[in-house]
Structure 1
Amino acid sequence: MNENMIAKVLFVIGVAQIAAGVIIGLITANIITYGVSWPVFFAWMLGGFVSGMLFIGFAENIRLLHNIHKKMQPLNKTPDTRQEPSIKNPRPEWTLDEADRTKIYEHYPNETIVEVVPAPQEDYCLVRFKSDNGYYVRVVYTGGFGIEETSDAKVRQSIIKWYNEQG
């Protein structure tokens, strides 16, 4: 399991609380017969926003701790149970699920994606594009709540080097 289900649930609860704060604020502010009570609306909206952001913050903490735990697991295994991806073992041990693959295609709607290759580093993918001038690649991180291009030059270079060695 690549993602922590509790983190996902807490994130959804946080977003729902923010939305509920706005909706309940609108409803309760309009109950008064002489017009909209803006202080009531902002009180409900602020309460929903703060409690929702707390849940989203807890979800992010759990997600980060889960990622740290996953990265530390290979240290506890015997050397025979895990092989590092290399030329002899070109496929990484993790797989890119369809939801993340769909997120990648939705993140680049105006570009022609030729292939999406899971990299040896978990939650990183190399995305190969085609343009009028030829082909180019980007390294994206899929481990968060969305897709983002990695800004870490060392990770990007190591994944591109790994991809080029694969042929």
Structure 2
Amino acid sequence: MENDARDPLLLSEQLCFSLYSASHAMTRAYRPRLDALGLTYPQYLVMLVLWEGDGLPVRALGERLGLDSATLTPLLKRLEAQGIVTRRRDTADERVVRIDLTEEGRTMREKARRIPLEIGHATGMDLPDIVELRSTLKRLAAALEQSSAGKG
């Protein structure tokens, strides 16, 4: 078959592969910056949510990140072992486990403050382009969620 750029089965024509490649490149760009903090990328995402406001129930944290408790629990245990967070039972409902930042976890926020700017520079994109891309990706995710919710 002739190599036609319009062939929908060419790898170069796949939206999923472009997103996959960009995701891997983004994660690689974060790695050295997060290594300096002693965090993995998923741990960094947890910390971002907790820096917005800690004391969250594990369930709420999982909902924000799109992670189930089977994925989130080991991640939180490792952060707790590092002394960055603590897990505690809610006094009003013992079934609820809340995640609190330790002083070290709060201090880490200042050390991480430079990361978004460094990543922004690494993309080679200016702020309006980054804002537009983020908006487009949110719309894409929402449309795919809605589409998959309709299947079922």
TM-score range, shorter chain: under 0.3
TM-score, scaled to structure 2: 0.24
TM-score, scaled to structure 1: 0.22
- Give the number of the structure whose alpha-carbon radius of gyration is greater: 1
**Which structure's residues are more often helix, by fraction?**
2
